[in-house]
A and B are shown apart, each in its own frame.
Chain A
Amino acid sequence: MMDFATSAWARFFVLALVGSLMVAAATRPALAQDLLPPAPYAYKQLEEPALEAKAQALMETLRCLKCQSQAISDSDAPMAGDMRHQVRTRIAAGEEPEAIRTWLVERYGDYVSYAPQNKPIMWPLFAAPLVILLLAALLLRGRFRRDPKDSGK
């Protein structure tokens, strides 16, 4: 991995995290950057609007591996550009978005997908809203006056 944790850069990021509460969404400036032009479809949309929309929707849910908490659709990191190129060319070749997601998950694990995968480890997360509503019902049980006519004199 590129390890930029020299003191100046470490300070840069401590600063960014401390001084701002939203900076973590920002791209990490690359100290060493390649000089190659981006992959053909990194910054180029597909001609067919329907396909491009499909690709865009998928890219918004794939995590950039080199950035802090960014989707590949929101990043200037070269590798994110290469992944966009992969997604667009595969969509153009007729692959389904979920097949591409599965292809990437096979290689990088669930980490690469912002959309939670249907796996036992994620089930508690899906159950959470239901649990919260049940808990609320349980806590509120019996708190309201049952009979509005009983004015409690």
Chain B
Amino acid sequence: MTEAVAKRPSLAMWLPLALFGAFFVLVIWGLVRPADREVASAFIGKPLPQFALEAATQDRPGLSTADFKTGKPKLLNVFASWCVPCAVEAPTLDALAKRGVDIQGVAIRDRSEDLARFLATNGNPFTRIGKDDVSQVQVGIGSSGVPETFVIDGNGVIRYQHIGEIRPEDIDLILRKLAEAGQ
């Protein structure tokens, strides 16, 4: 048993190269694709879950699901006083409010006094602010961070999610989405 059998040329010998090729194509695609590092809500198109949040500050009422079923599209802004990008987007939210947009706030894990200070410094574009201390609404609508902004139509259905702060250049997009939700 010492004969060395010469092998037939076999396609199997090219299998490693083929697999490596597939890997290569995959990672090249992975490197050039636009970086998408956010977890988008899978809850778009679905009605808001039932919730009733207490008021987070003294000068604005609390927030519940019923507040969205008024026939008019609104923004639901998930924010917090401890979140730096939230302060960055505050002027943009103000601009939106001045153009007649109804913005409802959900304050995540926040204290009333911190929130009051935040609103005093950065302006208060909200008509209502609900206090969400255990991220109940946040998780309920599939939001994974602050700030996030949702367009809710007049029937309380989530129509659009904006992840991250709204910048001045996003204003037109938000207004368009609100208009679409109002149709």
Contacts and interface: CB of A to CB of B under 8 A. Distances in A.
B38 A1 contact: yes
B117 interface: no
A107 B145 contact: no
Q: What's the interface size class on B, roughly?
A: 35 or more
B8 to A, nearest CB: 11
Given A1-B38, A86-B139, A139 B12 contact: yes
B106 interface: no
B3 interface: yes
B123 interface: no
B145 A66 contact: yes
B108 interface: yes
13 contacts: A2-B84, A36-B110, A40-B134, A65-B145, A66-B144, A79-B144, A82-B135, A86-B134, A107-B42, A107-B142, A108-B144, A151-B1, A153-B1
Contacts of B39: 65, 108-109, 111-112
Given A1-B163, A83-B139, A35 B144 contact: no
Nearest to B144: A65
Contacts of A152: 1, 3
A32 B84 contact: yes
A47 interface: no
A89 B133 CA distance: 15
A40 to B, nearest CB: 8
Interface string A1-17: 11100000000000000
Interface string B143-169: 011101000000000000001100000
Contacts of B163: 1
Given A107-B41, A107-B42, 9 more contacts: A1-B148, A2-B146, A35-B111, A78-B135, A79-B138, A83-B135, A106-B43, A107-B43, A153-B1
B83 interface: yes
B179 to A, nearest CB: 26
A63 to B, nearest CB: 9
A32 B109 CA distance: 12
A107 B140 contact: yes
Interface in B53-101: 80, 82-85
Most chain A CB atoms below 10 A, which of B40, B82, B136, B141: B82
